[in-house]
Copies of this chain bind each other. A is one copy, B any other.
Amino acid sequence: MATTDEFLNETHEQGLRELEDFLRIPSISSQPEHADDVRRAAGHLAEQYKRIGLQNVEVIDTAGHPVVYADWLKAPGKPTVLLYGHYDVQPVDPLDLWTSPPFEPRQQDGLLFGRGSSDDKGQIALHWQAIQAWLRTTGELPLNLKVIAEGEEEISSIHFEDFVRANRDRLTTDYCVISDTTMVAKGFPAITYALRGLIYFELRVEAATVDMHSGLMGGVAPNPAQALAEILTRLKDSSGHILVPGFYDAVRPLSEEEHRQFARVPFDEAALKQTYGLEALQGEAGFTPTERNWARPTLDVNGIWGGYQGPGAKTIIPAWAAAKVSCRLVPDQDPKAVAAALRDYIDEVRPQTVRVSLTELESHSEPWITPVDHPLIQAGRRALERVYGKAPAL
């Protein structure tokens, strides 16, 4: 009998055909006209799980698109791992930027192009190939496994929290692996062991109940756009250090090992500048770009508006101006504490000639982190190193 590795090598082409069949289903979760396709993709996936020998395969209805569940729990005493994926995809517009039809998969230069091939159907298919290889060659899996695949990830997992709450028992496991992240670079795998949290606000500065004429009120009325600029400038110094008192208090310092790991991550500044048309990078002094982006909290203006924005000139002093401001948080920052600190600070530094309101736009997202020395992360590191010939980035 072939080894698991041999089996995978022998069935490589067949596995690709199976992924292609999965990719051909236009399971665009955001477009109601594709609701049947989304359901068809769920059914198709359930069929694969049955075919390879998973058990308790079920397409579970939610108030939106269904979740596919399957398990294999015949390894008593072994840990149980939950694998998460999603089988829905993003819309395909604008179509003229595709060089091949999005739902007709095409291989080129060793890559498979097609909507969903890397997000997230490719990962799901990779799971079923691996599971199938174990079951066919050894008759069992080395641990207990539960797999779920949802159909609403691209639309903010609207009903997924309800689903998880309603299926708490079914989903309880020792470990959970979310298989919807990216590789750092081609041939360079990574394990995501922490995720930044988010707070998001709308900051509105109002001076008057109506727009004013700059000839009549210039030099007399406070200007809310100017006041907004002053507040934003007080939030962050020009080197990117956030000035809100207490903002960094709970931030977990990076260990030497983490600095080393981040330094291993390939970072091509020239390519990044080229991709986005950037003149220069910018960020907090004392940290590398990778550290600033992955391990340091940020504060950014996501949008700004007020007054006359049309063509030509209009000599008004705006009645109000607003900005959207969000912060990425890192462990162990508490979103509630940071939000409160931001609120207090803005109230302190705002010009007293204007009215300021800060409205929370989304519920807080907590940052999370798994200890790097966790057995599952160590197992993942060994596995990825064996496949790629190099240790994964963390």
Contacts and interface: CB of A to CB of B under 8 A. Distances in A.
B279 A207 contact: yes
Contacts of A354: 279
A322 B304 CA distance: 9
Nearest to A283: B219
A219 B278 contact: no
A321 B300 contact: no
Q: Work out how many copies of this chain go into the complex.
A: 2
A232 B221 contact: no
A366 to B, nearest CB: 15
Given A207-B279, A220-B272, A315 B226 contact: no
A55 interface: no
A263 interface: no
A361 to B, nearest CB: 4
A362 B305 CA distance: 22
Interface stretch (A16-24, A133-141, A289-297, A339-347): A289-297
A304 B304 contact: yes
A352 interface: yes
Interface string A285-325: 00101001100101011111111110011111111011110
Contact of A277 (B210, B218, B278, B280): B210
A328 interface: yes
A185 B239 CA distance: 51
B302 A305 contact: no
B280 A302 contact: no
A297 to B, nearest CB: 8
A219 B362 contact: no
Contacts of A314: 302-303, 324
Contacts of A303: 225, 306-309, 314, 316, 318
Contacts of A307: 301-304, 324
B222 A276 contact: no
A214 B326 contact: yes
Interface string A332-365: 0000000000000000000111110000011000
Contacts of A216: 293
A393 to B, nearest CB: 15
Contacts of A284: 219
Contacts of A300: 214, 218, 223, 226, 317
22 contacts: A210-B277, A212-B276, A218-B293, A221-B276, A221-B282, A222-B281, A222-B282, A223-B282, A223-B301, A225-B301, A226-B233, A226-B301, A229-B233, A229-B304, A230-B238, A280-B353, A282-B351, A302-B317, A304-B305, A305-B306, A309-B322, A312-B362
Given A303-B309, A304-B304, 13 more contacts: A207-B279, A218-B328, A219-B283, A219-B287, A219-B328, A220-B272, A222-B278, A223-B282, A280-B353, A302-B317, A303-B308, A304-B309, A312-B362
Interface of A: 196, 198, 200, 207-210, 212, 214-223, 225-226, 228-230, 232-233, 236, 238, 240, 272, 276-284, 287, 289, 292-293, 296, 298, 300-309, 312-319, 321-324, 326, 328, 351-355, 361-362
